[in-house]
Structure 1
């Protein structure tokens, strides 16, 4: 519990300080006028839209679990994914949400390998979609900037993203080479963690091999007899990101900004790639500054800071609040909390 509180405080402090810096540097004589003309009904709509993403995410988890033969209820699935947003908001690259969701699915009598397949399968679906959209988004943003230097940078970035996408697809298609790479890293990292004896290392390798087999077997099930569930998962992934990206446009309309929706969507695809890399808790600080840079392409400078703060209010602070409430409601007696 103390560690969780510490990381929540650290995440909040970094985000609040970064947000204050963004507002101070973008504040001008028109900012107060923009605040006076703010349409609060659009902010309420944005909150509802973000809440809808929890429901869609829960539906995706339900579909993938059912495809593997485990009927996790819709409400329980929504609780599981919502509780994961707290851990994701206070861990680097949002990676803390995955172990928690796996733990909760495992608590629903789902084998660890299959629970891992569902949770990592969701991340793979998200990653494939974002990486597939990235080259298109970069092309759209290039048209807005119209700068030869940025053109060269974006072309290089496009090539890199396409390469990463092919690596992910190859890893899913050919699991054996994936195992070899994982074994290589396990053998290098295990001694650093104190696993220095051959016997202990062999146990680590056996555990990795077992879980990878479960994972790849589950992916195989999803792509064969679980195709219907996987198709629902793909549909929910598309719906999730469309709804989530729509929220920013609604916020901007509430600030009397009317940019091209396609540019708004394209910018967020690029932003998602930027904020998943940083090692700060919940991408705090990086998200505010990266958001300011990207949103400046289509948002007036006088309301840029307000737009960034409003966007983070829903994608970060709301996740902390809702995720925290659900987490402490369903995990108050769980070993996950007691041992933290």
Structure 2
């Protein structure tokens, strides 16, 4: 049977978004000078932004590899780098970032990592990142509070809501590591499946859910005896968050804006916390609106602001989605060829 080719929805989504932004810029006269602004950007800082994005992805993969090794799974550098990029890619193109971890589990299954084990690892990874992100956001708010209160008090409630929403995950994830809570969640899923009588393989799905519960519980038990790996993951996630939020400073420097690094780092972190819970792929729209709310006072004209949004989103969103889409397509081609060769042999 001929294998069905997958449509690169990620690339199509990026292309559509870029077209919309460009059309928006062309129909607004104040943005007509955008090419001249782009031509004046500092190439050195643009290269630095690319390198920072690359290092961010490497750290993402290394944290996953560390946690997998803790669970007895021996995986290589390139494998976890791929898994990290695929997770971010699917998080960026699905509503509320819901597609990342499930697709990582699927890809890790190809590398013979059990679903229960990979899910436990990815939950710990997500917990470490969320804890690090919330800590950085709280520190940013404390540092910038006097300035925000004096100049932009309307932003403070938005930031507090963002901290609260992100903080919920810090509470929710450890609860899943408690056997009674996990059992209750799995029972709820089984209850729903039992009522989906239109499913032909309902009994198999229910059996898989029960098997997953047993596997997940056993693998999370391993983490309870290796608590130091939680600390390692958080200690690696904090510089990862700082690196991710520092891209904005490099973008400002590319525009020849020499502003205090800590101020821009804190503002970017608070912006991210304020919009990341918006249920749109990559928080599209909310990110751009938030950028205008948080940083419009830093730019002298609308054309520079618009161009800055494009450049900033390219390095924090589009470049990762483009790389992820290319990786998914290439990996699918390689995986399909391996399956065909295996079937022929």
Say yes or no: TM over 0.5: yes
Per the TM alignment, residue 31 of structure 1 is displaced from its structure 2 partner at its CA by 6.5
Distance 1:26 1:246, change over 3 A: farther
1:304 corresponding residue in structure 2? 305
1:224 corresponding residue in structure 2? 225
Matches within 5 A, 1:90-129: 90-129=93-132
Per the TM alignment, residue 209 of structure 1 is displaced from its structure 2 partner at its CA by 4.3
Is 1:322 aligned to residue 323 of structure 2?
A: yes
Return 140-149 or 212-221, whichever deviates more: 140-149
Structure having greater relative contact order (Cα 8 Å, sep ≥ 6): 1
Return 59-68 or 5-14, whichever deviates more: 5-14
RMSD after superposition: 3.7
Return 63-72 or 163-172, whichever deviates more: 163-172
Q: State the TM-score, normalized to the length of structure 2.
A: 0.79
2:61 corresponding residue in structure 1? 58
2:147 corresponding residue in structure 1? 144
Q: Distance in 1 between matches of 2:111 and 2:194?
A: 30
1:157 aligned to which of 156, 161, 181: 161
Distance 1:255 1:191, change over 3 A: farther
Q: Distance in 2 between matches of 1:239 and 1:278?
A: 25
Q: Tell me the alpha carbon deviations over residues 64-98 of structure 1, each in whole angstroms, 9 at most, x when there is no partner.
A: 11000011011221122223443333222333232
Q: Tell me the alpha carbon deviations over residues 272-323 of structure 1, each in whole angstroms, 9 at most, x when there is no partner.
A: 3344323333333332222332333645545322221111112222112222
Q: Tell me the alpha carbon deviations over residues 183-203 of structure 1, each in whole angstroms, 9 at most, x when there is no partner.
A: 4466458747945x9x94x76
Distance 1:82 1:165, change over 3 A: closer
Q: Distance in 2 between matches of 1:152 and 1:250?
A: 25
Q: State the TM-score, normalized to the length of structure 1.
A: 0.80
Q: Check conservation: 2:96, 2:277, Cα contact below 8 A.
A: yes
Per the TM alignment, residue 210 of structure 1 is displaced from its structure 2 partner at its CA by 3.5
Q: Check conservation: 1:39, 1:255, Cα contact below 8 A.
A: yes
Q: Extract unaligned runs of 5+ from structure 2.
A: 340-345
Q: Distance in 2 between matches of 1:155 and 1:277?
A: 12
Displaced runs of 4+ in structure 1, greater than 6 A?
A: 22-26, 28-33
Per the TM alignment, residue 40 of structure 1 is displaced from its structure 2 partner at its CA by 1.4
Q: Tell me the alpha carbon deviations over residues 2-61 of structure 1, each in whole angstroms, 9 at most, x when there is no partner.
A: 774345423432354246647977947997775454211100110111011121111111
Q: Check conservation: 1:276, 1:283, Cα contact below 8 A.
A: yes
1:259 corresponding residue in structure 2? 259
Q: Distance in 2 between matches of 1:58 and 1:71?
A: 13
Q: Distance in 1 between matches of 2:271 and 2:263?
A: 12
1:208 corresponding residue in structure 2? 209
Distance 1:126 1:34, change over 3 A: same
Return 291-300 or 237-246, whichever deviates more: 291-300
Q: Check conservation: 2:291, 2:309, Cα contact below 8 A.
A: yes
Q: Check conservation: 1:14, 1:285, Cα contact below 8 A.
A: no
Distance 1:26 1:44, change over 3 A: farther
Distance 1:182 1:155, change over 3 A: farther
Q: Extract unaligned runs of 5+ from structure 1.
A: none
2:133 aligned to which of 130, 139, 143: 130
Count of paired positions? 334
